[in-house]
């Protein structure tokens, strides 16, 4: 189990614990993730970027993120992917959990549905 996994388990024990929130969001924001992407398509060629693989379960869409390349390859050894770099560091002092939540919210807000913005700032797919 990785530190991020442990922090998530701890956070789920008490979601209102500011210290546990801070620990999780600090690790989350300072981690790189491997994001599966769709194989090249006509839509990607027109936009000049890549499209993340979005999965659907119970009527909800999910963006797949993997904390290690090994986990990504265990899920699908042949999938194309890109590495999304970590976000700027989050400090451990007052308000860090709220800062982490705000940054996380802005990250997902910055990727409008149906638009390819994931590749901006993270380079081209491998």
Question: Is residue 39 domain-resident?
Answer: yes
Question: Is residue 21 domain-resident?
Answer: yes
Question: Is residue 117 domain-resident?
Answer: no
Question: Is residue 122 domain-resident?
Answer: no
C-alpha 87: how far from chain center: 10
Number of domains observed in the structure of the chain? 1
Structure tokens at 83: 């590495």
Nearest to 82 by CA among 27, 18, 125, 31: 125
Element of type H or E holding 106: helix 96-109
Residue 96 domain boundaries = 3-109
Tell me the mean pLDDT per 10 residues along the chain, length 126: 91 93 90 88 64 91 93 93 75 49 45 42 40
Looking at residue 126, what is its pLDDT?
A: 37
Looking at residue 56, what is its pLDDT?
A: 92
pTM over 0.75: no
Looking at residue 105, what is its pLDDT?
A: 44
Question: Is residue 120 domain-resident?
Answer: no
């Amino acid at each position: 189990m990785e530190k991020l996994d442990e922090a998530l388990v701890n956070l789920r024990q008490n979601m209102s614990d500011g210290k546990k929130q801070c620990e999780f969001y600090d690790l989350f924001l300072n981690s790189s993730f491997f994001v599966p992407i769709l194989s090249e398509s006509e839509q990607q060629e027109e936009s000049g970027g890549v499209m993340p693989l979005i999965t659907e379960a119970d009527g909800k869409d999910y963006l797949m993120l993997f904390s290690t390349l090994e986990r990504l390859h265990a899920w699908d050894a042949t999938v194309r992917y890109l590495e999304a770099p970590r976000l700027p560091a989050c400090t451990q002092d007052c308000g860090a959990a709220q800062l982490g939540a705000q940054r996380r919210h802005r990250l997902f807000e910055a990727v409008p549905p149906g638009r390819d913005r994931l590749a901006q700032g993270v380079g081209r797919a491998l």
